[in-house]
Amino acid sequence: SLFRLKDLEVAELGDSDVHVKMMAAPINPADINMIQGTYAVLSPLPAVGGNEGVGEVLEVGRRVATLKPGDWVIPAGPGLGTWRTQGVFPEETLLKVPSDIPVLCAATLSVNPCTAYRMLADFETLAPGDSVIQNAANSGVGQAVIQIAKASGIKTINVVRARPDLPKLVERLMALGADHVITEEMLRKPEMKDIFKSIPKPRLALNCVGGKSTTEMMRHLQPKGTVVTYGGMAKQPVMVPVSAFIFRDLRLRGFWMTQWKKDHAQDQESLASMMDALYQLIRRGQLTAPACTEVPLQDYRAALEASMKPFTSSKQILLL
């Protein structure tokens, strides 16, 4: 196996370093891709896994200005290596988060909700009453899209794969604020027309599957609509009928949270305003952590296996 649980010495605390006790860290698809070597950011080996999580500051170096013991922190970017009980990290690799939000919300905040927030904000100007369609709607990003859209008065059409416990999943997504939950097969059915009696056709489609799923979603977009691809779970290319380009002028875009953070490294204002908006939603109960299974660190193997099973509707969270 690629994985071992190891005891390491905690590094010396440098002047600009922060000693952090990790509390909780999720297992995300990108974490697995990094380990498999198929991701665009790879850590030099040997490496500690995990790109996301929340910890508490134990001690800070004498030049550290933005953090103090007792503060909660999350990674500012990828590759921090969060699957550990403690670590010493340079101050600029950490972002302070309020400690009055639930631990699981903080642990899962820096990747999925940020991705959802940016995709809803940055590609189409959506107003209350507008609609969005997305596949893999039960994913971490999908659950955040449903809730953030709902809080802004935007309707969501949520596509999921048919599965044995479908009614339970539909119920869960509806409880989060989904307006419609349909299976991939439904996208082709005439009944889709019924949905658009009560809500407008979407101007935005969010795709993390690829293949046929994306092509089918596209059929329901308004002219000049945008498809944003942020993942490729089906490991198949996005196929677009030429007519969709010519006669409907659809736009195809991509989104990667890591790139957005790089592009906005000098623009602390846009990061801060996004994070504040997310904290507000969490405090109001309008944005919750995704469905989670909490696993103690020593059971990490079981957690990794569970995270790679098909039809997982629960994110594995390592408790540190």
Give CA separation, 248 vs 32, 111, 202, 244, in Å: 37, 32, 13, 5
Is 279 annotated as catalytic? Answer: no
Average pLDDT over residues 62-83: 95
Per-residue pLDDT tens digits for 281-302: 999 999 999 999 999 999 999 9
Q: Determine the topology of domain 17-108+289-319 in CATH.
A: Quinone Oxidoreductase; Chain A, domain 1 (3.90.180)
Task: Band the pLDDT of 42: cuts 50, 70, 90.
Answer: confident
pLDDT, position 277:
98
Domains 17-108+289-319 and 111-257 share a fold: no
CATH architecture of 111-257: 3-Layer(aba) Sandwich (3.40)
pLDDT at 311 over 80: no
pLDDT, position 1:
59
Tokens linked to 103:
């631990």
Percent of the chain with pLDDT over 90: 83
pLDDT, position 52:
95
pTM tops 0.85, yes or no: yes
pLDDT at 65 over 80: yes
Average pLDDT over residues 179-187: 96
Domain ranges of the chain: 17-108+289-319, 111-257
Q: State the DSSP string of 66-115.
A: S--TT-EEEESSS----SSSEEEEEGGGEEEE-TTS-HHHHHT-TTHHHH
Catalytic residue among 39, 117, 230, 279: 39
Average pLDDT over residues 90-98: 96
Per-residue pLDDT tens digits for 156-177: 999 999 998 899 999 999 999 9
